[in-house]
């Protein structure tokens, strides 16, 4: 069956709002390393990795062998009503890596569920339904996570179980403070945060939730130290801080294992998902023990932390640490960003190249500097035609997102830069 036939079947039974890439969408049929092959036999270098999820790449023996070993036991599922050895071992490792004092971990099936859980914990702990979130943010597609998503393109409903106040800071390129120095930018955003708390809330806010680098928002980020400065203000009011590490976790930013560490602050809780499972569905929350234990009703997760997902995730995390993929992300990410900035130097259509490690955004603009979504679509299509898969995002749909598997090689970086130079 070719792509066109499958597309017709897809459109007949799938919702219209379920996005597909490309004028002629493709089905991925096989993969190895950093390359995927579609159903019609075309092979591509993958620089989006299933939206940052295939963090270690494809067909990794150590991960596949661990999953097969668990499959051989016949126990694919037991629910969290029973002890799960791989779940406990994975939680121990994540708690230690988190740096959060007396940390405990709860596993979910996705980043959306993880953020919903964090909101439930924070609002229960603080006995408040007030939440601070950042403009241009994205936190998921469920009821509360849509409410704290500051991006019109992904906000399907105005209804909300929480009261949200919005603060500046995450998207610097089009911020009213963009022309300030780093230090003055931080001061302006901190002043805005304080004013938002004083003017739009009753003071007893449950939490602030923020992505260290805004993913769907176009891989945008503030100067280092902003969230550390925010935390000082939050502490004055007793407001919890939740770092959404769904896209920035596991060393992808290169310089740190968690994105929030660039800001010199330890959050009260972190949410995670995507890269931990290297394709398996897993997410979760790691939080202070007193915060995690604050629920007074029964709760569990039928599928969260299941034996297959936690076995695969544990193998993924061990592989990532054993092979120091964080260092690889730092090294090759620097080469990618430098190469892209060289390319952008004489191309006025590129308004900004930004990011850290293997999490890089290319913002495309018109002659007047306005967002140009059509150019981003053209780059998306042009790179695919030349054998490179990239992502697209941003508040205005005008940012190309690059987030290849962290096992990326130097030759693959140069190959991708050549294609991007040609297309841009």
What is the percent of the chain where pLDDT is above 90? 99
Q: Of 304, 322, 340, which marks where a domain is finished?
A: 322
Among 322, 339, 372, give the residue marking a domain's end: 322
Render pLDDT for 250-260 as a digit per residue (tens, 0 to 9).
Answer: 999 999 999 99
Indicate whether 159 and 18 sit together in one domain. Answer: no
**pLDDT band at 247; cut points 50, 70, 90:** very high
Question: Looking at residue 396, what is its pLDDT?
Answer: 97
Q: Does the pLDDT of residue 97 top 90, yes or no?
A: yes
Average pLDDT, the chain: 97
Q: Region 26-36: what's the mean pLDDT? A: 98
Read off the pLDDT of each residue in 296-312 and give the average, rounded to a whole number. 95
Assess whether 306 and 412 both reside in one domain.
no
Are 162 and 300 within one domain? yes
CA distance linking residue 357 with residue 359, whole number of Å: 6
User: Could you tell me if 13 and 107 lie in one domain?
Assistant: no
Residue 122's pLDDT is 98
CA distance 378 to 386: 12
The reported pTM is 0.97
Task: Tell whether the torsion through CA atoms of 415, 361, 353 and 264 is positive or negative.
Answer: negative
Cβ atoms of 2 and 37 within 8 Å: the answer is no
Number of domains in the chain: 2
Cβ atoms of residues 185 and 223 within 8 Å:
yes
Q: Please state, in angstroms and as integers, the Cα–Cα distance from residue 358 to each residue in 232, 280, 308, 311, 361, following that order.
A: 30, 20, 27, 25, 10
- 254-278 in b/e burial notation, b at 16+ Cβ within 10 A? bbbbbbbbbbebbbbbbbbbbbbbb
- As a whole number, mean pLDDT of residues 22-43 equals 97
pLDDT (mean) for 372-398? 98
Is residue 62 within 8 A of residue 319, CB to CB? The reply is yes
**Which residue do the tokens 């695919």 mark?**
384
Is the pLDDT at 1 greater than 80, yes or no?
no
Does residue 200 surpass a pLDDT of 90? yes
Same domain, 292 and 401: no
Question: CATH no. for residue 25?
Answer: 3.90.1150.10
One domain, residues 32 and 89: no
| Residues 25, 165 within the same domain | no
What is residue 351's predicted lDDT score, i.e. its pLDDT? 97
101 and 84 both lie in a single domain? yes
Tell me: do 311 and 342 sit in the same domain.
no
In the chain, pLDDT over 70 holds for what percent of residues?
A: 100
Q: Among 26-30, 230-234, 242-246, 297-301, where is mean pLDDT lowest?
A: 297-301
For residue 33, what are the domain limits?
Answer: 3-60+324-423
Q: Could you report the per-residue pLDDT of 111-120, keeping only the tens digit for each?
A: 999 999 999 9
Residue 233's CATH number:
3.40.640.10
Q: How far is CA 256 from CA 100, 139, 249, 404, in A?
A: 15, 21, 9, 17
Task: Indicate if the pLDDT at residue 86 is higher than 90.
Answer: yes
* Domain identity same for 99 and 203: yes
Domain boundary among 322, 341, 368: 322
Q: Domain check: are 255 and 148 in the same one? A: yes
Say if residue 256 is in the same domain as residue 339: no
């Amino acid at each position: 069956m070719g792509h066109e036939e499958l597309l017709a079947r897809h459109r007949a039974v799938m919702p219209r709002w379920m996005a597909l890439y490309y004028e002629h969408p493709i089905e991925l049929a096989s993969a190895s390393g950093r390359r995927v092959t579609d159903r019609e036999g075309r092979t591509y270098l993958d620089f989006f990795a299933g939206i940052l999820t295939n963090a270690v790449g494809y067909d990794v023996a150590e991960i596949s062998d661990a999953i097969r070993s668990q499959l051989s036991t016949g126990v694919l599922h037991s629910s969290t009503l029973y002890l799960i050895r791989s779940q406990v071992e994975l939680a121990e490792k994540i708690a230690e890596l988190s740096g959060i004092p007396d940390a405990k971990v709860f596993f979910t099936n996705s980043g959306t569920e993880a953020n919903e859980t964090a909101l439930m914990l924070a609002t229960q702990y603080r006995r408040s339904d007030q939440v601070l979130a950042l403009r241009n943010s994205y936190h998921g597609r469920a009821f509360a996570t849509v409410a704290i998503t500051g991006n019109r393109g992904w906000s399907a409903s105005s209804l909300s179980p929480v009261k949200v106040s919005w603060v500046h800071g995450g998207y610097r390129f089009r911020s009213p403070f963009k022309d300030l120095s780093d230090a003055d930018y931080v001061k302006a955003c901190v002043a805005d945060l304080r004013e938002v708390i004083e003017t739009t809330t009753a003071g007893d806010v449950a939490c602030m939730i923020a992505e260290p680098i805004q993913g769907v928002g176009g891989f945008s980020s503030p100067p280092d130290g902003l969230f550390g400065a925010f935390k000082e203000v939050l502490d004055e009011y007793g407001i919890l801080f939740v770092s959404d590490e769904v896209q920035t976790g596991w060393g992808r930013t290169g310089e740190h294992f968690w994105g929030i560490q660039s800001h010199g602050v330890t959050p009260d809780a972190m949410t995670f998902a995507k890269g931990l499972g290297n394709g398996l569905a897993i997410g979760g929350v790691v939080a202070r023990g007193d915060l995690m234990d604050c629920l007074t009703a029964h709760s569990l997760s039928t599928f969260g932390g299941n034996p297959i997902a936690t076995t695969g995730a544990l193998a993924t995390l061990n592989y990532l640490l054993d092979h120091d993929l964080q260092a690889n992300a730092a090294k090759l990410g620097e080469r990618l960003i430098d190469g892209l900035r060289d390319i952008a130097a004489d191309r006025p259509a590129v308004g900004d190249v930004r990011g850290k490690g293997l999490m890089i955004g290319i913002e495309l603009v018109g002659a007047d500097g306005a967002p140009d979504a059509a150019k981003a679509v053209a780059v998306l299509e042009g790179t695919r035609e030349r054998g490179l898969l990239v992502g697209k995002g941003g508040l205005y749909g005008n940012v190309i997102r690059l987030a290849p598997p962290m096992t990326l090689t130097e030759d693959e970086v140069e190959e991708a830069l050549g294609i991007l130079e040609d297309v841009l």
